[in-house]
Amino acid sequence: QVQLMDSGGGSVQAGGSLRLSCAASGYTYCMAWFRQAPGKEREGVASITSAGSTTYVDSVKGRFTISRDNTKNTLYLQMNSLGVEDTAMYYCAAAHFSPLRCASWSGYAYWGQGTQVTVSS
């Protein structure tokens, strides 16, 4: 069992930046960030394997950067050039399955409690 605690959300103006963090109680092969906006389905935003291979959803490519510090079991999401469309509850997630599945956006067993990101125009 792995516990995740995400943090770093807040309110920013469009064009601003935020950095989300997720502290894990243990090591996992795959880690990812998901988000869910009101009235919308949850979507995968970015994933990263234990070796550092990353995948992004098209809408955040070039603006968001996912990274992890395996020595600290911590996941990060640097979000730049935020737009109102990025407003959502962001969740970190982790899984022990093969790194080949990291970007499948399904089957993640461990979830953080969520951190709210609100972008105003």
Phi, psi of 108 (to 5 degrees): -65, 130
Phi-psi category of residue 114: left, alpha or beta, with phi > 0 → left and psi -120 to 50 → alpha: left
User: For the residues 60-78, what does the mean pLDDT come to?
Assistant: 97
Residues 24-68: tens digit of each pLDDT: 999 999 999 999 999 999 999 999 999 999 999 999 999 999 999
Exposure string (b/e) for 98-109, b if CB count within 10 Å is 16 or more? eeebbbbbeebe
Please, are residues 77 and 45 in contact by the beta-carbon 8 Å criterion? yes
Question: Could you give the count of Cα atoms lying within 13 Å of 75 in the half-sphere of its Cβ?
Answer: 35
